[in-house]
């Protein structure tokens, strides 16, 4: 694992742990203002699906762009004449 990957994983871990720490308070506030348990589950499901779809689309687009660039750079390398 290189340094960039380490910091990326560290940032992701901190984000997830921060979200998990603040979630119960947010859920409690939503329940206090009248959200039912079912509505809360539906909201969380929708949030998760939208987050997953956004990540999948962004990852696919970036993967295609980087893939095309990698193939072009490989094909651009020509052996030097002997």
CA-wise closest residue to 42 among 33, 50, 52, 53:
50
User: Along the 82 residues of the chain, how does pLDDT read in single tens digits?
Assistant: 688 888 888 888 888 888 778 888 998 999 999 999 999 999 989 988 998 999 999 999 999 999 999 999 988 887 767 6
For 60, other C-beta atoms within 10 Å of its C-beta total: 10
Domain ranges of the chain: 1-35, 36-77
User: Helix (H, G, I), strand (E, B), or coil: what is residue 13?
Assistant: helix
pTM for the model stands at 0.62
Closest CA to 51 of 25, 3, 15: 15
């Amino acid at each position: 694992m290189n340094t960039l990957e380490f910091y990326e994983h560290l940032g992701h871990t901190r984000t997830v742990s921060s979200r998990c720490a603040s979630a119960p308070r947010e859920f409690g506030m939503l329940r206090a203002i009248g959200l039912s348990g079912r509505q809360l589950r539906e909201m969380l499901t929708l949030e998760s699906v939208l987050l997953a779809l956004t990540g999948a689309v962004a990852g696919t687009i970036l993967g295609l762009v980087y893939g095309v660039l990698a193939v072009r750079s490989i094909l651009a390398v020509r052996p030097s004449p002997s």
